[in-house]
Amino acid sequence: MQWNDLNEIAQIDEIKKHEGYSVIFKHSTRCSISLMAKRNFELDWGNIPKGTEFYFLDLINHRDISSYIADVFHVHHESPQVLLIKNGECLLDASHGDISADEITEVISN
């Protein structure tokens, strides 16, 4: 698995149009809790079905994109935060200790 860096608002519009599953991980590079959540997520993301796209957002450098994500997918801004998107809809929104690759796998599998 590999992260696709989010660094342009246009990428969010493309994710919204994508018919498959996309995961957006919003990360604060200044926060140790965010770093721990990212590491734990990456340890288990191999269980998430193939074909899922993974996007990484550095919140410190791209606040504008984070705000746009909140508006487009109707979620509150959190950090760290993971969103599961399919067909333009946010199916799962989790933050901090609730971030789980296993939960994403379960949602996709059902």
What pLDDT score was predicted for residue 22?
A: 98
Pick the closest to residue 84 from 105, 57, 106, 104 (CA basis).
104
What pLDDT score was predicted for residue 16?
A: 96
In the three-class reduction of DSSP (H, G, I as helix; E, B as strand; rest coil), residue 73 is classed as helix
Phi, psi dihedrals of residue 74, rounded to the nearest 5°: 55, 55
Token representation of residue 109: 């599998």
pLDDT in tens, the chain (110 residues): 799 999 999 999 999 999 999 999 999 989 999 999 999 999 999 999 999 999 999 999 999 999 999 999 999 988 999 999 999 999 999 999 899 999 999 999 98
Q: Total domain count for the chain?
A: 1
Strands (E), the chain: 4-5, 21-27, 53-58, 81-86, 89-95
Peptide bond just before 80 cis, omega within 30 deg = yes
Q: Which domain holds residue 90?
A: 4-109
Using only the alpha carbons of the chain, give its radius of gyration. Answer: 13
Q: Are the C-beta atoms of residues 96 and 78 closer than 8 Å to each other?
A: yes
What pLDDT score was predicted for residue 14?
A: 97
pTM, to two decimals: 0.95
Q: What's the CATH number where 38 sits?
A: 3.40.30.10
- C-alpha distance from residue 17 to each of 66, 91, 94 (Å): 18, 15, 22
